[in-house]
Amino acid sequence: MRRMELLRVENLTMRFGSLAAVDDVSLSVQQGEIVGLIGPNGAGKTTLFNCLTGFLTPHRGSIRFNGQEIRGLRPNRICKLGLARTFQIVQVFKEMTAWQNVMVGAFCRTSDSIRAYQETLRILEFTGLYEKKDAWVGNLTIADQKRLEISKALATQPRLLMLDEAMAGLNATETQEAIGLIQRIRDRGITLIIVEHVMEVIMSICERVVVLDSGRKIAEDSPDQIVKNPRVIQAYLGVASHA
User: Which long-range contacts does 225-230 make (Cβ < 8 Å, 24+ apart)?
Assistant: 226/38, 227/199, 227/203
Residue 111, helix vs strand vs coil = coil
Give Cα 184 distance to the centre of its chain.
Answer: 15
Nearest C-alpha neighbor of 53 from the set 164, 165, 127, 219: 164
Q: Pick the piece of the chain touching another protein (CB under 8 A) from 8-16, 40-48, 105-113, 172-180.
A: 105-113
Q: Evaluate whether 210 touches 61 at the Cβ level (below 8 Å).
A: no
Q: Interface with another protein includes 95 (CB under 8 A)?
A: yes
With CB under 8 A as the contact rule, the residue among 51, 87, 163, 210 that binds another protein is 87
The distance of Cα 145 from the centroid of its chain, to the nearest Å, equals: 15
Nearer to another protein, 76 or 225 (CB): 76
User: Do the Cβ atoms of 62 and 71 come closer than 8 Å?
Assistant: yes
Long-range contacts, 168-174 (Cβ 8 Å, 24+): 168/88, 168/197, 168/198, 169/142, 169/143, 170/142, 170/143, 170/146, 171/143, 174/143
**Residue list 5-64, contact with another protein (CB under 8 A):** 53-55
| 130 forms part of the interface with another protein (CB under 8 A) | no
From 6-14, 23-31, 114-122, 169-177, span contacting another protein (CB under 8 A): 114-122
Of 75 and 223, the one with the shorter C-beta distance to another protein is 75
Report if residue 117 touches another protein, rule: CB under 8 A: yes
Instruction: Quote the least distance from Cβ 236 to another protein, whole Å.
Output: 27
Q: Using the rule CB under 8 A, give the single segment among 110-118, 184-192, 200-208, 233-241 that binds another protein.
A: 110-118
User: Which parts of this chain interact with another protein (CB under 8 A)?
Assistant: 53-55, 74-77, 79-80, 84-85, 87, 91-96, 100, 103-105, 107-108, 111, 113-114, 116-117, 136, 138, 152-153, 155-156
